[in-house]
Structures are given as structure tokens and as C-alpha cells.
Chain A
Amino acid sequence: MASADSRVTIHMAASLDGFIARKDGSVDWLETADHFEGGEVMAPEDVAAFLQTIDCYVMGARTYETALAFEAKGLGWPYGDKPTFVLTHRELRKASSAVEFYSGDLQHLVDERLRPAFGSIWFVGGGAVAGECLRRGLADELRYSILPVLIGDGITFFDKLDRDVALHLLEAKAYQSGMLALRYEVKRPVAQSSETDSSSDA
């Protein structure tokens, strides 16, 4: 069912010790900076223009709630008018008409609804969603931005992976801010089958 040119990317920023948030969900540590003299510099407008090329976002309930909290602080809705699919069984406030709540099967969502309709599909957290996405073989690409900080404990980037996931490094860039951005292609072990649904299959 997958459209040939659709691409599922998992992107998250994490601490060097692999956490995407503290235990309580806070991400204050994202705002730590270093200065790496040899690093690349990005113009904010170029990054913003790049983010514009994303066609839709997928996230878990806690990541969504973090975005709602930013909005409540007067910072605006981070994902603009881009279609945003929130995986949840709970009743949550809708940040905009572009937000849709989904409680069904993730593979069905990706293969039947997202891939046929969108080119660039971005999973932006959290760890449980990223883990499930990889476990079910739904991701094409992994972007891991490592910030120069250790936070000791928290929510891990890839929750409950029950098998190895082989990756092919596409790009590694170090930025002047001290951030290290890694981009990987997810290697597919076997030809895609639409019926491998049970969670322990690999």
C-alpha cells in the first residue's frame, strides 16, 4: 500500500545518555549550549524552511502534552497548520483543527492512511512511539540530534526494543552549538509483508 515516495522519519533530540525528557517529562535541558569552534552554523530561516518540507507529524500523548504546555506558556503551537496525528486512548484538548487523535493500530495508520497521503512523515516522539515504530519496521530514516548534556535519568529515546535494528549512517554533522546530528537509514532485514502484525515477530 505504501506510496513509493513516502518516507517515515523518526526525529528526536536527546541527551548524550539517550534521554528525550526527564522522568517528569520536562525538556528544559534542551536549552543547553556549548561552543564547538569547528562546528557548522545554520541560519534559522534555513532550518525553518526545511521544517516546512515536512508533510505531517505523528507523536505520542506525552509529546503532545509537552507541546500543549509550550502553547499555554504563550509560545504558540509548534507544528503550525501541519496535519498532526496523536496516538492516544485518552481524551485530550485539540490544539488546532489540524490535530487528529488516533487509538488504532500504528501499522494501519502508517500504511493505509499516512503513506498514501503524505510524502514526508515525521515521528517526533516519544520513546514508546519511536520504539514501536522501529519494532514494527515502519521507519525509513532515523535522525538523532545529540545535545551536549548528560541528564542521568529520564525517558529513553527507543523504548522496549526487542530486537536489533541495523542502521546505515547517511550523515554526521557537528554544529557550533555543540549539537551532533546523526542521520541513519533503517536497514530492512526482509522484504515487507503487510501481514506481520504480532509484536514479537522480527
Chain B
Amino acid sequence: MIRLVGPGGAGETTVGAALAERLAAPFFDLDAEFTARHGDISAYLATHGYDAYAERNVSVYSALAGVPERSAVIALSSGFMTYRHDVHPGYVRCREDIASSELTFVLLPSLDLETCVAETVRRQLRRPFARTTEREEHVIRDRFVIYSGLPARKVETMRPVDAVVADLLSILLLKRSDR
């Protein structure tokens, strides 16, 4: 399973869908899968709180990851790698597997922190639940540090989707011919 992770606003869903299409593989968007099982995420959060949501989201991911679909592509939720470690009994293990897999890609607008923060803030502020610029920046900075610290391969996304997908395909092809 090919996993795309990122701090949000880095095009995980768009890139994931395009990559899956090129691979003729199924595509899963974790947020959409959560919604299909548990309804609207904001309604869930408002009535159950964030930890309950995170716990359920890990379960939804685990169910998808258990499907023996080797070439499926999954775009993870933007906060998935940042949950509290005791939020689900299987979370630490699952997070390690994702972080260290050679089929995991960390999508970041840019590898440069300042460019990344500016671009992500710009995109996030257009969303319905946008915070203030300062608060947005603070959140992005924290998340960027976590995501850029993951051992998985980083891919820059501040360019056309086709170019990002072509990059991912060539990396995947190289990995395949390595074996």
C-alpha cells in the first residue's frame, strides 16, 4: 500500500487520486473513509471530542491497511502522524510502520520551512474553518517540524500535479527494479 502523508494543504488527496489512476489502483482518502463510516467529521468532533475521533480514525486506517491490495494508494488525514501516542492501542506500531515504509511519501509544499509555511497558510486561510494567520502559522510550523522529521521520503508539491505524480512513479519504478 502506497501512503501519502502531509501537514494538510499539500495536495495529498489530489496527488493520491492522480497517482492511483496512473497505477490503475484503488484510491482511498482516509477522511472520506471516516465520513462514510461515522458521518460528518465536524459533527463527530463536536459530540465526541478529538481523541475519540483520532481513536476511530486509527481503526478506520487499520481496516483499510489490512486489505491485501498491494498497489492501493491511501491519503492519510493531515493530523494522523501527530496524535497522542496512547490514543489507540495499535497507534504507536501503526505510526512506526507508516513512518519507516519505503512506500510512504511525505508531501510538503516545499522542503524550505519558510516557503512551506507561507504556501500552506495561504491555502488554509481559504478553508471554511480558517483560523487567524498567526494561529495558522503556529500550527503549520509545528506540524512541518513533525512531518519533515519523518524518515520516509519527502516530495515537494508546489508544482503541477502531473510533475509530482511523475516523480512518485519514477521513484516507485526504481524501487521495483531494485529487487
Could you tell me which A residues sit within 8 Å of B by CB distance? 11, 13, 27, 30-33, 35, 40-51, 53, 66-67, 70, 74-80, 124, 145, 147, 173, 175-179, 181
B93 adjacent to chain A (CB < 8 Å): no
Most central of A46, A67, A76, A80 by chain B CB within 10 Å: A46
Q: Could you jot down 24 A-B contacts, CB within 8 Å?
A: A13-B43, A27-B47, A30-B44, A30-B47, A33-B36, A42-B127, A43-B79, A44-B53, A45-B77, A46-B130, A46-B131, A50-B129, A51-B50, A53-B131, A74-B55, A75-B48, A75-B52, A75-B55, A77-B49, A78-B48, A78-B52, A145-B40, A147-B40, A179-B40
Q: Does chain A have a CB within 8 A of B100?
A: no
Q: Are A70 and B52 in contact (CB under 8 A)?
A: yes
Name the residue among A27, A48, A51 with the largest chain B CB count within 10 angstroms.
Answer: A48
Q: With A41-B31, A44-B77, A78-B52 in contact, is A32–B47 under 8 Å at CB?
A: no
B71 at the interface (CB under 8 A from A): no
Chain B binding surface, main DSSP class: helix
Interface of A, secondary structure class, is mixed
Of all chain A residues, the one with the shortest Cβ separation from B139 is A49
Instruction: Judge whether B49 and A80 touch: CB under 8 Å.
Output: yes
Total contacting residues, chain B, CB less than 8 A = 37
Known A47-B41, A47-B45, A49-B129; judge A176-B35 contact (CB<8 A). Answer: yes
B55 contacts across to A, CB distance below 8 A:
74-76
Question: Does B39 belong to the interface (CB within 8 Å)?
Answer: yes
A124's nearest neighbour on chain B, judged by CB, is B46
**Contacting residue for B35 out of A33, A40, A66, A67, CB 8 A:** A33
Partner of A147, one of B32, B43, B53: B43
- Chain B residues with a Cβ under 8 A of chain A: 8-9, 31-32, 34-53, 55, 57, 77-79, 124, 127-131, 135, 139
Q: A46-B124, A48-B45 are in contact. Are A31 and B39 (CB under 8 A)?
A: yes
Q: A78-B52, A147-B40 are in contact. Are A44 and B79 (CB under 8 A)?
A: yes
**A51 CB contacts on chain B under 8 angstroms:** 45-46, 50
**Chain A residues with CB under 8 A of B34:** 44
Instruction: Give the shortest distance, in Å, between A12 (CB) and chain B (any CB).
Output: 9
Residues of B within 8 A of A78 (CB): 47-49, 52
Report how far A24 CA is from B34 CA in the complex, Å.
26
Bound Cα distance A42, B77 (Å)? 11
Q: Which residues of A contact B48 (CB under 8 A)?
A: 70, 75-76, 78
In the assembly, what is the distance between CA of A41 and CA of B35, in Å? 11
Extra pairs beyond A27-B47, A179-B43 (8, CB < 8 Å):
A33-B40, A42-B127, A47-B46, A48-B45, A49-B131, A78-B48, A80-B49, A147-B39
Q: A49-B131, A78-B52 are in contact. Are A33 and B31 (CB under 8 A)?
A: no
Contact (Cβ within 8 A) A31 B37: yes
